[in-house]
Amino acid sequence: MAKTKKITVLPDEAIISKIYFIRGQKVMLDKDLAELYNVTTSNLNKAVRRNSKRFPDDFMFQLTQKEFKNLIFQNGTSSWGGTRKMPYAFTEQGVSMLSSVLNSDTAVEVNIRIIRIFTKFREMLLTHKDILLKLEQLEKQVIQNSGDIEMIFLVLKQLFNPLQEPRPRIGFKRSDEE
């Protein structure tokens, strides 16, 4: 019987912490993916270059200098060391495509976990979107009934601060006052 390599199970938080929001998309960087797949970043990028037709612009893109500096700034101290090339960012579809390029058991297992986490993100976004839609509907109702609400606030203000008519002054009056 052949020995099978045991794959270490990563907690979801370890994967989630490596998902960034760049150019309006959730992406993972080549360095982080290489670490998860237990390969070097160089080998991961070589495999991608050999299969470049599988990675159109909406699956993968290279960060600009400004995006990279912003990413380092957001994460505090740089853990990228002496990066000579700007990192590649892989969208959900690009991460999915990596499983066909990297043929190790680790890559397949990690890919399945990553795709499940991306799916959870999408479900959470849809839930939040539903909540935002309901809030928007409530806001429209409030605007439609704003006259009633303004009237309520006006009455409340009058109850807390009743109008006071000027009272006649009591006491000594100077000759120039009338």
DSSP the chain: ----PPPPPPPHHHHHTTEEEETTEEEEEHHHHHHHHTS-HHHHHHHHHHTGGG--TTTEEEPPHHHHHHHHHHTSS-SS-S--SPPEEE-HHHHHHHHHH--SHHHHHHHHHHHHHHHHHHHHHHHHHHHHHHHHHHHHHHHHTHHHHHHHHHHHHHHHS---PPPPP-S---TT--
What pLDDT shows up at residue 135?
Answer: 66
What pLDDT is attached to residue 6? 47
Structure tokens at 32: 């982080």
pLDDT of residue 7: 47
- With tokens 């986490």, the residue in question is 117
Please give the Cα distance from 33 to 41 (Å, whole number). 8
Per-residue model confidence (pLDDT) at position 63? 92
* pLDDT < 70 regions, the chain: 1-10, 74-84, 132, 135-136, 138-150, 153-154, 156, 158-164, 177-178
